[in-house]
Amino acid sequence: MQRYETEVIVIGGGATGTGILRDLSIRGIDATLIEKNDIASGTTGRNHGLLHSGARYAVYDLESAQECIKENKILKKIARHCIEDTGGLFVTLYHDNPKYHDLLLERCKLAGIKASEISPMQAMAIEPNLSSHTLKAVKVPDAVIDPFRLTSSNMIDAVERGAKIFTYTAVNKIITSGNDSVGIECINKKNEKIEIYANIIINAAGIWGQHICEIAGIELKMMPSKGSMLIIDYRTNNIVINRCRPPADGDIVVPGDTVSIIGTTSKEIDYDKIDNCNVDDDEIDTLLKNGEDLLPNIRRTRGLRAYCGIRPLMAVSGKVKGRKISRGIVLIDHKERDGMEGLITIAGGKLMTYRLMAEKTCDLICKKLNRKLKCTTHKLPLPGSEKKIPAKQTIKHFSGIPASTVGSTFYRHGQRVHNILTKDKKNYRLICECELVTEGEIEYAIKNLNVKNITDLRRRTRIGMGPCQGELCAYRAAGLFNEYNSTSPEESLKLLKDFLEERWNGIKPVFWGDGLREIELSYWIYQGLFGLGDFGDSDTEEN
């Protein structure tokens, strides 16, 4: 059994967990993070990527709204390369209650959110695809943030400062001594057992935090709420469009990279279903109908894929459910609540407030460790956002490489583009034409970004996230794993098959029309031409 010692263990590799790891490493506290899958593979990577202005919460949850606008301003400074500052609109359609418009403006002012009323004509000028039935509009400082890029940047900074990360490693035991939690026992994908001992254990596992508390012998009741989203195959809008009404299904369309995302439904589910959630047909219908109300041109697009995430909500009262549960931050010292020293749970909140959640958690850690160390994450840029250099200047620096290729790489990695691109033609040849991902970017990710498979690679580079969903790039990426990661040809084929299965799970709910024709072509390529479906039939059951 492998055995390690550290000061702090962080359980959970979402934005909050990696944010805590980064904060601790900046403060000089030795820390190790444990994640049962890949970073950002849970709720963090299964949202619509909205960088909230706080306006969506202003009417019903003023505290969350105030947290959002504060963090909005901070993230736009420290995580520039993760953000597209699109702006946002709240629009009132002809059958919406116009009084909500006035209430929104009033509450935004109270929360400190810069919200301004504009005419329907001005709104249409900003977003030409907006519904002609728009009666009123409010402009707010919403933006778009890439959760994968954000989490990866926090991971990079923490690791470069000495932190350790174990992915694909599941916690199966909290080691205790009397009433103190002193460590964890884990098992990785190779079936190797690992023990890690620490002074403090942070439960930042999101909705899975209830399970972590259960294995520690502590009761923590979470309220799972499934939110489903639909990706359409190109950007129908270039600004975040919100429906100006009380929160409901399908009331937002978020532009993100090369696509737009319609969100979000809200369905209560049983806790034992959190690892096996699927998007229901009625949710797709609801999202399409409401999305078309906001942007009528959506009816002329094709659904690219659908996915869902589980909100890690906690309610003080069992009578409060669903969308009425506050998105506020819940920080629990289990010494005070349950008499167990050395265990802290951080839950609730949103992607938007991950940094604030990390700050509050690390302040408590420092107090318990008797270390007078202040948080500076609100000032220090994430890797990639160190300097505010215009894209044009970077493109000029890489003259000779197509400007679109340089621009896309710069857009995803910021200043780290200088660690990725070279003027060697092999380096900048395209592997994914949809998202303009180069061989150099894939090599960099495999060697430096804790990538174990093609799905991890997708989260770091967006490979396979375009209209063809990996049809033309997945097999090239599998070959590069063989070249750069010393995987055998058989192992690379297994990675390819697993990746295509992962893509298939999101395509199934939108299996009609052009999407059906696209998947038929993919099936012909990989089964008819390559015979990939037969690979592994004679292998062990594990394969």
Q: Which residue has the tokens 């000032």?
A: 379
Give CA–CA dist 398/420, Å, rounded. 11
Element (H, E) at 75: helix 62-78
pLDDT of residue 313: 81
400-414, 435-449, 508-522: range with lowest mean pLDDT: 508-522
Query: Cα-atom radius of gyration of the chain, to the nearest Å?
Result: 23
Q: Is the pLDDT of residue 317 over 50?
A: no
| CATH architecture observed for domain 2-43+148-222+327-369 | 3-Layer(bba) Sandwich (3.50)
Q: Is the pLDDT of residue 449 over 60?
A: yes
Q: Which two tokens stand for residue 36?
A: 């049962």
Q: Is the pLDDT of residue 153 over 80?
A: yes
Cis peptide before 409 (omega within 30 of 0): no
79-119, pLDDT tens digit by residue? 999 999 999 999 999 989 999 999 999 999 999 999 999 99
Mean pLDDT, the chain, integer: 92
**What three-state secondary structure class fits 210?**
helix
Give residue 316's pLDDT band: very low, low, confident or very high (50, 70, 90): low
**What three-state secondary structure class fits 382?**
coil
User: How many C-beta neighbours within 10 Å does residue 451 have?
Assistant: 24
Burial of 230 (0-12, 13-18, 19+ CB in 10 A): buried
Give residue 472's pLDDT band: very low, low, confident or very high (50, 70, 90): confident
131-145, pLDDT tens digit by residue? 999 999 999 999 999
- Residue of 74 and 509 predicted with greater confidence: 74
CB 249 within 8 A of CB 264: yes
DSSP codes of every residue in 191-223? --EEEEE-SEEEE--GGGHHHHHHHTT-----E
What does the domain layout of the chain look like in residue ranges?
A: 2-43+148-222+327-369, 82-144+224-312, 429-534
Partnered with residue 92 across adjacent β-strands are 136
pLDDT of residue 374: 96
Average pLDDT over residues 421-435: 95
pLDDT of residue 318: 46
Q: Which two tokens stand for residue 90?
A: 């709240």
Q: Which two tokens stand for residue 128?
A: 């030409």
Name residues whose C-beta falls within 8 Å of residue 538's C-beta, 6 or more positions apart in sequence.
none
Q: Which of 206, 208, 201, 205 is nearest to 32 (CA)?
A: 201
User: How many C-beta neighbours within 10 Å does residue 315 have?
Assistant: 17
CB 356 within 8 A of CB 350: no
Give CA–CA dist 114/127, Å, rounded. 19
Q: Which residue has the tokens 């609109």?
A: 89
215-257, pLDDT tens digit by residue? 999 999 988 999 999 999 889 999 999 999 999 999 999 998 8
pLDDT of residue 440: 97
pLDDT of residue 26: 98
The alpha helices in 112-261, defined as continuous H runs, are 120-126, 147-160, 209-215
Superfamily the domain 82-144+224-312 falls into: D-Amino Acid Oxidase, subunit A, domain 2 (3.30.9.10)
Q: Which of 337, 32, 340, 13 is nearest to 175 (CA)?
A: 340
Q: Which two tokens stand for residue 1?
A: 């059994």
Q: Would strands 200-203 and 8-11 be described as parallel, antiparallel, or unpaired?
A: parallel
**What three-state secondary structure class fits 536?**
coil
Percent of the chain at pLDDT > 90 equals: 81
